[in-house]
Amino acid sequence: MDVKFSPVIANATNFPEAVIRATPGFGLTDIFPLWQPDTLKQCTFTRNGRAAIGIAALQLMQQGLTNTVLLPAYHCPALVEPFLWSGYQVKFYPVKTDLTVDLTLFQSLLTPDVTHCLLVRFFGFKQNIEQLIALGSAANKVIIEDCAHALNDFITGLQQPDPRIAARITSINKMLPTIDGGLLYMHDQPTLQPQHCSWYEELKGIAFLLRISKLIRKVSRRKPDVLNVKASTCSERSVYKYFQPSDLTSASFRHTKQILRCSNLDVVKARRQANYLYLVHALTDTTAGRCLYPAVGDEAPYVLPFLLRNEQDFQRLRMQRIQVLRWEEIAASDCLVSESYRSRLVQLPCHHKLKPADLDYIINAIHNLGEN
C-alpha cells in the first residue's frame, strides 16, 4: 500500500531550549566500569535503532516473494521507513487505547500474503506482545521485535533468545546518555556488518557528547572523512525524513559501546521505576489528563505516556522548557486510536538522571494545565 505520513503538528524550532530533557545527559560517572555483559558479543552495534531495523529487513527478505510486513498503526516514521526503502509492502494493524492489540483482529490480518510482522514494546512496556509473538509464530511469519524503548528487556533476552523471533532491535541512546547507538540481535550474524567511523568523526562525537562548543567549531572546520566501507546499495541520498541508507554501514561510536558496557542497567532500571511511580502518584488527581499506565511491573520505562485532555497543552508544556515528545507523523490508517494519540499522547521524561526538583517541576506544570 502507498504510505502517507501525517504532517508535523508542532515544530520543535518554535519552542525554547529545554531545561528538562527527554533523555539523560552524560557525566563522568557513566564511564565507571560497573557492568560488563558478555552477551553483547552476540550483537551488532548500529548507528541507531532504525539502522538495526533496516539491516534486519534486508537480511530477512524472502527471495522470489513479495515481502509484506505488518506494522503497528501507532508509530514513529523511523519504524516504517527502513521497510519502505528495502522494498517491502506495508500493512498496519490497529492498537487499542492501552496500546495492546486485539488478538482476534491481529490473527485475521496474518493472511498468506503477509510474510513478516514487527511487534513493539511501546515505551518499555510489554503490552500483550507475548500473545502476538505466539500468533505470528503459529502463522509461520518472520517476527521482528522492536525493543527500541526497552534496552533492559533486550539485554535480558540475550541470555535465552526466543527461537520464534528472527531479529530483535533496541536503541541505546533512548535509555543511556549517548548521542547514537542501536543493537541488533539475530540467530545468525547479518551479512551486512557496520564499520566504525574514522577517529576524526569519533572526536566530533565526543565533543557533542561533552557539549564542548569550541571544540565542535574547531573540528567542524575540517572536511569530514569518508567511511572506508560502504555498501553499494546504501550510497544514494535518502528520500526519507529519518532513515538514512548510509547508516546501515556505520556502527555506533566506540564511546557509545563503552558507555553501555559501563552502565549498571539494574540501577538505571530502579531509578527510572522510582521516578515513574513518583510522577504517577503526584498526577493521580490532575484534571489535565491521565497516565496511560498507572503502574510499572518489572519494566524499565523509557518515558511516562500521558494522555492529555487538551491537545494544545503539549505546546504549553514545551513553552515551559520541558522536552515532552509525541508521535505526530503517523502513517494514514483506519486506526482511530492512533489518530487521536498523535496529538494527545505525550511522553513525559522519567529518566534516571532527573532530580527531585525536576520531577516536581514537571508535576507542577501538569497541574497548572488542569487549572487553565
Task: For residue range 181-228, list pLDDT tens digits in order.
Answer: 999 999 988 999 999 999 999 998 998 898 885 555 665 555 444 333
Q: Tell me how far CA of residue 291 lies from CA of 11, 98, 159, 346, in angstroms.
A: 24, 10, 32, 10
Residue 218, pLDDT score: 60
Percentage, residues of the chain above pLDDT 90: 81
Mean pLDDT across the chain: 91
| 8 A C-beta contact, residue 139 and residue 110 | yes
Domain 265-371, CATH homologous superfamily name and number: Aspartate Aminotransferase, domain 1 (3.90.1150.10)
Residue 231: pLDDT over 80: no
**Residue recorded with cell 532527573:** 354
Reduced to 3 states, what is the DSSP secondary structure of residue 309? coil
Q: Which helix H or strand E contains 305, and what residues bound it?
A: strand 303-308
Question: What is the rounded CA–CA span in Å between residue 106 and residue 335?
Answer: 13
Type of residue at 346: V
Q: CA 71, 76, 81: angle at the middle one, nearest 5?
A: 65
Residue 309: pLDDT over 50: yes
* Upper half-sphere CA count for residue 83 (Cβ side, 13 Å): 25
**What are 127-159's pLDDT values in tens digits?**
999 999 999 999 999 999 999 999 999 999 999
**What are 289-303's pLDDT values in tens digits?**
999 999 999 999 999
| Of the listed ranges 16-25, 43-52, 71-80, 221-230, the one predicted with least confidence | 221-230
Question: What is the rounded CA–CA span in Å between residue 134 and residue 107?
Answer: 10
* Mean pLDDT, range 320-346, rounded to an integer: 97
Q: How confident is the model at residue 53 (pLDDT cuts 50, 70, 90)?
A: very high
Percentage, residues of the chain above pLDDT 70: 91
Q: Which CATH architecture has domain 37-197+243-261?
A: 3-Layer(aba) Sandwich (3.40)
Question: What is the rounded CA–CA span in Å between residue 119 and residue 116?
Answer: 10
What are the boundaries of each domain within the chain? 37-197+243-261, 265-371
Question: What is the rounded CA–CA span in Å between residue 220 and residue 225?
Answer: 11
Q: How confident is the model at residue 38 (pLDDT cuts 50, 70, 90)?
A: confident
Q: Go through the chain and tell me how many residues it has.
A: 372
Residue 233: pLDDT over 50: no
pTM: 0.92
